[in-house]
A and B are shown apart, each in its own frame.
Chain A
Amino acid sequence: MVREVLRDALPTVLAAASGAGASVGEPTLPSGDQTRRTEVSRDGEWVVLDSDEDLRAFVARLVQLFDNPRHRQDLRHGRMRFRLARSAGGPASADAPAAPDPVVRIERGAVTEKQVRDASRAGARLVLGRAAVLTPLARDRARALGVHVEKER
């Protein structure tokens, strides 16, 4: 009963008051809601839009957010922010949206075709140290997959 009243009152309290008011109200909220709220309001959610599947997932996420009256208010008033995660790779890169430009560093030894393929799957670019040697097959594969290879001098 108390929880329901608080839940109804909380959006207005949160909108009106600053951090002090929020810290009074929040302990009664379920912890899942609380973390989601801070994540959304502070730095926004990372969104990957590389394929139709990603777009469908994003729309589903919006519909899900709309079910919650508080999130609906937030969306309507622009308090909920979304950030576009850029990725060079294919659909597999959706697994790591928090790192938009990952780098695979190889300091020494042979850089084989397999390592190039793994980097491509992770959507990463390759940075080779002075002692690293790119094999001809790996160079061909990097060109075919569009993996950026950078050699340090």
Chain B
Amino acid sequence: MSNNAIGMIETKGYVAALAAADAMVKAANVTIVGRDEVGEGFVAVTIVGDVGAVKAATEAGAETASSIGELVSVHVIPRPHAELSKHFKVAAE
């Protein structure tokens, strides 16, 4: 599986993040590479996969997150620079 896109969903609240992560991996062929709790209840889930798959997955995840809890942001980076993986946890092991 080529991982040429990163998708991120941030929610306020753990439950919405967990539900969004579940919706994302069920919706398309993507892998969860990170779950970051940055404080104040914000949880960010990071996925990798093909650009189309990541876009479809974040779409499903965002819809689920906003229906369960509070969706803060959703973003997709197609073809991330190699430098990113040196400093962020954005590559599939």
A residues engaging B (CB < 8 A)? 108-110, 112-113, 131, 133, 135-138, 140
B73 touches A133 (CB 8 A): yes
Contacts of A138 in B (CB 8 A): 59
- Expressed in whole angstroms, the Cα–Cα distance for A113 and B62 within the complex equals 11
Q: 1/0 contact trace for B58-73 toward A, CB 8 Å? A: 1100110111001111
Q: A109-B66, A110-B66, A112-B62 are in contact. Are A136 and B72 (CB under 8 A)?
A: no
B66 touches A137 (CB 8 A): no
Kindly identify, within residues 53 to 93 of chain B, every residue whose CB is under 8 Å from any CB belonging to chain A: 55-56, 58-59, 62-63, 65-67, 70-76
Number of A-B contacts (CB under 8 A): 39
The 4 tightest CB contacts between A and B, nearest first, are: A109-B66, A110-B62, A110-B66, A136-B76
Tally of chain B residues near chain A (CB < 8 A)? 17
Q: Which of B55, B73, B75 has the most CB of A within 10 A?
A: B55
Residue of B nearest to A140 (CB): B55
Contacts of A133 in B (CB 8 A): 62, 66, 71-74
Contacts of B74 in A (CB 8 A): 110, 133, 135-136
CB distance from A111 to the nearest CB of B (A): 9
CB distance from A34 to the nearest CB of B (A): 50
Contacts of A136 in B (CB 8 A): 7, 55, 58-59, 74-76
